[in-house]
Amino acid sequence: MNLAQDSLYICDDHAERAEAFARSADALGYATKIVDGREATEQSAPKLILLGCDTRNPEWSSKKADLATRYPEARIVHIDEESEKLTDPKQLRRLLKPNEEEPRTLALGRSRSMRELWAAVERVAKFNVTVLITGETGTGKEVVARRIHQLSARSNKPFVAVNCAAIPSELLESELFGHEKGAFTGATKRRPGRFERAQGGTLFLDEIGDMPLAMQAKLLRALQERSIERVGGDQEIPIDVRVVAATHQNLHHAIQEGEFREDLYYRLNVFPVKVPALRDRAEDLRDLIEFFCEKLQREGRPTPLISGEAMARLHQYAWPGNVRELSNLVDHLSVMYPDERVFEADLPENVRGPVKQQVEEAPPTRDRLPNELLTDRSPEDTAPVLPRCGVDLADYLKTQEQSLILQSLSQAGGVVAKAAKLLGLRRTTLVEKMRKYGIEKEDGLSMAG
């Protein structure tokens, strides 16, 4: 069992229903085991337990108490007679969804590192100090900034976000501080800046590390004096704004390179918060995937069902794009496999991490593959033997896959659905593979002939 997967135990008096629940949980990627209430198990403690039995049975309360004692950290969910619909993975997902946390919080996860992050956020939200959020691109720094605002005394005032990297340097001053009519060509009327629009609330300065040096000096003055001047104006405008800044850059290095002001850094870094990369908190993957799937459901869109093997692969992936990349992946899978189970082979190639092997000699083709690779041997001796000249593994596996697809079509009499069942694939997956290799269902029939 992949220890990164969440364990789910099923304890039910009805064996058939327990099996149905197990299949449903497997489809959601849980490491599932059907257990008796009092049996000992060598597996790691479960995070969830589905307990199904007749509540009128006097053994029910003792069984539940026994499970609660043995697995104190597990959440026990009772399955009653009206829960038959939970054999549908989508319905089961709704039951298992943690609802004790605010959705935006759940979007980032509940691992130890994230619990520590949220504890720090709750602590600093009460105080009117500047916060500097650091973390890689796509980790959810703006979500953290919004959470700080929501928990603060300013929550009923505006939250205004500015991406400093997305605004041209010549326009950034006007965007932040506003401008007077006639301040420059095109300034046909007075326009308040983001500081004024955030009055009484929170101003989120995203990608602060990309702010030009000249603008950094003006920002520092605004923070020190707690007042601004519009471009083209001479009037000091008091501001009551809490500033939260964020960056993916190493500001210490930027200071050494002369690209970021040290005094501004200390002004912003009153309370530092670092958002961990997704690869460092893989245990949050399931919560994140469920969050994004629920978001799709609210939009009326179908959702993918991530299998255990696919989830294991996702745990091994490095996630360079972090939570944003995961969100995009769920979107992709919802289009490719709507309300269908997703296997490892269905994941994008960059996520699967294909193994490519370089060989010095020309790779053998199907016609030139050594006999020891093509021989139909007994089940006791099925391992192929690597030829002395080497082999292009990717090409060989493709050849074998094409051969098995043709054989399955032949045995199924050209019926794609039956061929897919022989291969343990969904019909749509087999159709995609046939399209990829240019195989028609008639090709299998001609092979039989």
Identify whether 292 is part of a domain: no
Q: Which residues pair with 242 in a beta bridge?
A: 202
Pairs from 164-171 (Cβ < 8 Å, separation ≥ 24) = 164/205, 164/206, 164/207, 164/208, 164/210, 164/211, 165/206, 165/207, 165/210, 166/207, 169/212, 169/214, 169/215
What CATH number is attached to the domain comprising 404? 1.10.10.60
What CATH number is attached to the domain comprising 343? 1.10.8.60
Say whether 280 sits in a helix, a strand or coil.
helix
Both 112 and 90 in one domain: the answer is no
Interatomic CA distance for residues 405 and 387, integer angstroms:
25
Work out the number of other CB atoms within 10 angstroms of the CB of residue 360: 6
Both 70 and 112 in one domain: the answer is no
Both 252 and 112 in one domain: the answer is yes
Work out the number of other CB atoms within 10 angstroms of the CB of residue 220: 17
CA distances (Å), 442 to each of 37, 127, 404, 421, 445, in order? 53, 72, 15, 18, 5
Both 110 and 79 in one domain: the answer is no
Both 263 and 216 in one domain: the answer is yes
Q: Give just the sign of the alpha carbon dihedral 78, 84, 87, 90.
A: negative
Identify whether 43 is part of a domain: yes
Max Cα distance, the chain (Å): 91
Can you give the length of the chain in residues? 449
CA 208 to chain centroid, in Å, comes to 25
**232, 193, 221, 210 alpha-carbon torsion, rounded to 10°:** -110
Q: Which amino acid is at 266?
A: Y
Q: Which of 409, 367, 373 minimizes the C-alpha distance to 388?
A: 373
pLDDT tens per residue across span 240-254 = 999 999 999 999 999
**The two structure tokens encoding residue 14:** 């009805």
Identify whether 283 is part of a domain: no
What CATH number is attached to the domain comprising 261? 3.40.50.300
Kindly give the pairing relationship between strand 191-192 and strand 178-179.
Answer: antiparallel
Q: At what angle do helices 213-225 and 169-177 cross, to 10 degrees?
A: 10
pLDDT, averaged across the chain: 80
Both 120 and 78 in one domain: the answer is no
Q: Which residue has the higher pLDDT, 388 or 161?
A: 161
Angle at 275 between CA 269 and CA 334, to 5 degrees: 145
For 160, half-sphere exposure in the C-beta direction (CA atoms, 13 angstrom radius) is 20
Q: What is the mean pLDDT of residues 186-201?
A: 89
Both 145 and 188 in one domain: the answer is yes
Domain that holds residue 418: 366-448
Both 344 and 403 in one domain: the answer is no
- Kindly tell me if the per-residue pLDDT of 335 is higher than 70: yes
Both 183 and 87 in one domain: the answer is no
Identify whether 240 is part of a domain: yes
Both 423 and 314 in one domain: the answer is no
* Range with the poorest average pLDDT among 70-74, 134-138, 246-250, 377-381: 377-381
Tell me how many domains the chain contains.
4
Domain boundary among 276, 307, 340: 276
Identify whether 303 is part of a domain: yes
Q: Which residue has the higher pLDDT, 25 or 356?
A: 25
- 8 Å CB contact between 416 and 428: no
Identify whether 193 is part of a domain: yes
pTM here is 0.58
Identify whether 249 is part of a domain: yes
Tell me what pLDDT residue 375 has. 42
274 CB-near residues (< 8 Å, 6+ apart)? 117, 133, 134, 135
Band of residue 323 on the pLDDT scale cut at 50, 70, 90: very high
Both 144 and 272 in one domain: the answer is yes
Domain boundary among 79, 96, 113: 96
Angle at 102 between CA 96 and CA 103, to 5 degrees: 70
Q: What is the mean pLDDT of residues 416-443?
A: 83
Both 329 and 398 in one domain: the answer is no
Identify whether 307 is part of a domain: yes
Q: Where are the alpha helices (DSSP H) in 281-437?
A: 285-298, 308-316, 322-336, 349-352, 371-374, 393-411, 416-423, 427-437
Domain boundary among 38, 65, 96: 96
Q: Where are the alpha helices (DSSP H) in 71-164?
A: 89-96, 103-106, 112-125, 141-151
